[in-house]
Chain A
């Protein structure tokens, strides 16, 4: 029988392949590989989603004690993370009819899946008492949508910095026929993604607080993971204000968005090096 981890391994390679095609298209300035990459990326996304559903199903197959939505350990959250990254990317590709971001987004999805494959928690384990909560599911779900939006915003910012070397200061316009995004549009896209991510990060922090209140009797405890999510939140809040009220655009916002994503990465991975309640496992 096919198990979810087999599907996830295959998906890892599919994402890798899609990433290579997008990159090839970007480097050699040819449209064809990117067009193929779209199909490959869709296949990866569908496989990724199927893997998540199968894992969910398998957990209930193993016995009712095991059954849970696949969002409760590092392995599961990473595979979900990759799923949302490619979903958001493919949505943006469809909406703006441009494939240039795939050269960063797909390798990112691949790296996340590759990291998942060397992470502990592949086995479906029954939940320890603290993790038995619907608020936990809501918490992980919203956090990772937020993180994925910031990841794509990060990719857009990198593309922006590359492009702004070519031609600076064009206005935001609707994408042209060739699918090249103007720097103005990239800037706008970063902003959209960050607003989307900020809403979900806010919801993620809040559902996490409600969970903490039901499990430990406090909604905020300055645990390193909580603190780092607040740090990330402050950075993006500052970015939104700088853009809205100080008129920051383009390069400066791109740099802020990259700093923000570094904070996201630390919130997610780095904090496990510090002591605290949150370290999975």
Chain B
């Protein structure tokens, strides 16, 4: 029974020892660094066919089983992060336990011997009585240190000063921030969603498509796109602004309206709606389509390639015209309000039958809007038609806006982690716990002053500071002497 307990205790101990080690954290940090490279070299979350083509079936299978194609969400990558978190927590608890008495001491103890033996201390003689020095130094040090105390010694006194003891906590702020950040990310992953929706101008939707699963999600409210606008900078196709005017509706009532642009999303009930993409739904340019009704009078023009002369003649559908210069016959067979040629709209056309002088026939299209179209045929005669048709009107562009619709309840936790991390790093790197001792001793006739200090980091910089402080104190003494 007890043996079992001991084994368990031994196991827990070695587990603790495993996770307390900084060696482990270095290994994990560097492993994360190295393994992350994979995901930047192999594009993630592509179509399987893409990978099959790139790697062949064998390596595709192998890499797919190892989740290489979605590696940042793979079990092994997440395991690494989990180890890092346990490592940070255990290690911080362990260090904090050991540092507790330094950070929150019951009484402040300065070990004078240690300060006396520091190689970077400064000694100088002061020709002033001890009591006078006491007042002088106390005033000066109080300005620079948050805590000052004078203790009497056998031969004089020692001034002890310290500041920044709390800065030793900074590093725990950094470590805690990593944990907070990851908790925030986890909350977002568990309870949030990322989706996308496309809304044509004037349309309303109440559901989005989720990015991960591709399933549809009802939002509980509706989004209407009242308008979408794209603006370009002058003289170029550099986009200036994408703007969607959106309305949020609940039970068909507009709750509020907002124009969103990139970098300025809309937020409703914690759900954020971002301008993400756009699409033009109708074709660009003016509408080419002619009227459905066949124009009654159609003027047909023939230009002779040989002489260049243009002959015009009024006609109508169903008639056949004899072309001058004995160039043949042209019959107006039918009318189409909108024909196309190689996918380009020609607008209204006459489909006619041309018979050349040799008696060969050919069906040709003669558009009303493009009088030079028939030149392409390179025949002996160029045929064009004119009728009293309405002018083409430019069409209003019709857009659809693409919106990213996200919900992330963890983001404020993550941001709290961000603030903590920056603050913690600033404190840890640039502030230190500094302790200073100024000891004044009567040595026979002389009065000796010793200045010495310690700091938990930035030793060289602090040593220089101690030197400067000693200079200042010595200067203070000689100034005071000159006054007398």
Contact = CB atoms under 8 A, between A and B. Distances in A.
Contact of B406 (A128, A192, A217, A222): A217
A174 B239 CA distance: 56
B432 to A, nearest CB: 12
B22 A217 contact: no
Contacts of B275: 129
Interface stretch (B29-37, B286-294, B377-385, B438-446): B29-37
- Judged by DSSP, the binding face of B is helix
B94 to A, nearest CB: 12
Interface string A125-137: 1101110110000
A145 to B, nearest CB: 13
B241 A274 contact: no
B interface, how many residues as a size bin? 35 or more
A167 interface: no
B450 interface: no
Contact of B421 (A65, A132, A192, A202): A202
B127 interface: no
A235 interface: yes
Given A198-B425, A217-B272, A274-B40, A238 B238 contact: no
Contact of A192 (B263, B264, B425, B458): B458
Given A231-B36, A234-B32, A219 B263 contact: no
A172 B458 CA distance: 11
B337 interface: no
A199 B233 contact: no
B404 A216 contact: yes
Contacts of A274: 40-41
Interface stretch (A86-94, A104-112, A240-248): A240-248
Interface string B47-72: 00000000000000000000000001
B463 interface: yes
Contact of B238 (A128, A199, A203, A215): A128
Nearest to B41: A274
- Judged by DSSP, the binding face of A is helix
B39 A227 contact: yes
A237 B29 contact: yes
Contacts of A188: 459-460
A241 B91 CA distance: 12
A235 B32 CA distance: 9
A230 B36 contact: yes
Contacts, number: 121
A3 B194 CA distance: 46
A128 B421 CA distance: 31
A224 B238 CA distance: 25
A202 B181 CA distance: 13
Contact of B29 (A206, A217, A234): A234
A276 to B, nearest CB: 8
B40 A126 contact: no
A214 B429 CA distance: 30
Contact of A217 (B32, B36, B40, B194): B194
23 contacts: A128-B240, A129-B240, A129-B261, A130-B262, A130-B263, A188-B459, A202-B422, A210-B418, A213-B411, A214-B263, A215-B263, A217-B194, A217-B274, A218-B194, A219-B414, A222-B72, A228-B40, A230-B32, A235-B33, A238-B25, A238-B29, A238-B33, A275-B43
Interface of B: 22-23, 25-26, 29-30, 32-33, 36-37, 39-41, 43-44, 72, 185, 194, 233, 238-242, 261-265, 272, 274-276, 404-406, 408, 411, 414-415, 418, 421-422, 425-426, 429-430, 458-461, 463-464
Interface of A: 65, 125-126, 128-130, 132-133, 172-174, 185, 188, 192, 195-196, 198-199, 202-203, 206, 209-211, 213-220, 222, 224, 227-228, 230-231, 234-235, 237-238, 241-242, 245-246, 263, 271, 274-275
